[in-house]
Amino acid sequence: MTKSQSHRKAIIVLGPTASGKSDLAVDIAHYIQQHSKKFGVFGAAIISADSRQVYRGFTIGAGKITKQEMRGIPHYGLDIVSPLRRYTVAQYQAYTNRILKKLWSQNILPIMCGGTGLYIDSVLYNYSFPKVKPNHALREKLEKLSTEKLFLLLQKKSHSRAQTIDKYNRRRLIRALEILEDQKHIAPLTKNPVFEALILGIHPPQDTLYKRIHIRLIKRLRAGMVAEVKNLHASGISYTRLESFGLEYRYVAQFLQHKISKQEMITRLEHEIQQYTKRQITWFKRNKSVVWTEKPNIKLITKNLEKFLLA
């Protein structure tokens, strides 16, 4: 490893939704700042790895960290694109690579934090994203299948891809199947990380996580999540588009269209979030390099931080 490569270090904080990743990432950043001389850096900054937090206006429903919660730590990857535009994993990869290069050049330690496993892996393992042309014959065939059957077909062809997709989004399901059919689907260019990374994972006991999900959902509803979706629709975003973002935006949009009752919205949403966390954990558990902890407590990982940063 060359001298320049030895400075290409980053910390990754991952885990299921509602596990406390954002708070832990900020705690880590402050810990690094407090010991910056010891670690030979000028501080730390956080890069969000969340597929919905990239969109402007997606705040309460996406669980976007507030300025107060940032506690002075610079954050990237938030509010970078209009929800009217499609934002791909490849675009996120290119954006994050630019930020990493910038931070490393300033001797600032990057901390990637989020629950979108494909976003994290695309950067860490330098995924390739070949351009696959539309297959109109295949699309016509797939359009005849129900959304449920499309998801089952994708599961059969690529279990890992099925874990990272919104199973209710027909457009994305058909596109994923189209890419797989082309036999040039996304793949890592290397089996090893392209930079040194300490990967910290939070995996609370299921009952603890489900309790956090319930409390957080009620808190978001009280904070104005329904009004947020209503305002997004009023700004020109169709309900169909809002539903395509899944989870909170799907069910609140359905409630606002009077497709489901408020109680049904809460019940179905809570269940879907629970199921989503299972898929997240399955994805993250594939990586045997993750250092797991049940609690987002920095005291439990300081030894790991010291070992990694002083190596």
Domain edges within the chain:
3-129+189-206+288-310, 136-181, 207-280
Is the CB of residue 86 less than 8 Å from the CB of residue 56?
no
pLDDT, position 274:
96
> In whole angstroms, what is the distance from residue 204 CA to residue 6 CA?
33
pLDDT average, residue stretch 285-305: 94
As its CATH architecture, domain 207-280 has Orthogonal Bundle (1.10)
241: exposed, middle or buried (Cβ count in 10 Å: 0-12, 13-18, 19+): middle
CATH class for domain 3-129+189-206+288-310? alpha beta
Q: Give the contacts of 226 (CB within 8 A, at least 6 positions apart).
A: 252, 255, 256
pLDDT, position 183:
60
pLDDT average, residue stretch 121-127: 93
pLDDT over threshold 60, residue 1 = no
pLDDT average, residue stretch 270-276: 95
10 Å Cβ neighbour count for 145? 16
* Per-residue pLDDT reduced to its tens digit, 165-188: 778 888 888 888 888 887 655 555
Average pLDDT, rounded, for the chain: 91
pLDDT, position 227:
98
286: exposed, middle or buried (Cβ count in 10 Å: 0-12, 13-18, 19+): exposed
Least confident segment among 18-27, 59-68, 156-165: 156-165
> In whole angstroms, what is the distance from residue 209 CA to residue 151 CA?
26
> In whole angstroms, what is the distance from residue 247 CA to residue 243 CA?
8
* Joined tokens for residue 162: 């099925």
pLDDT over threshold 90, residue 134 = no
* Per-residue pLDDT reduced to its tens digit, 74-119: 999 999 999 999 898 999 999 999 999 999 999 999 999 999 999 9
> In whole angstroms, what is the distance from residue 93 CA to residue 275 CA?
26
Whether the pTM exceeds 0.85: the reply is yes
pLDDT, position 133:
80
Give buried/exposed letters for 188-200 (b at 16+ CB in 10 A, else e). eeeeebbeebbbb
> In whole angstroms, what is the distance from residue 214 CA to residue 205 CA?
15
* Per-residue pLDDT reduced to its tens digit, 245-255: 989 999 999 99
Rg (C-alpha) for the chain, rounded Å, is: 20
More confident residue, 57 or 162: 57
Which pLDDT band holds residue 3 (cuts at 50, 70, 90)?
very low
pLDDT, position 217:
97
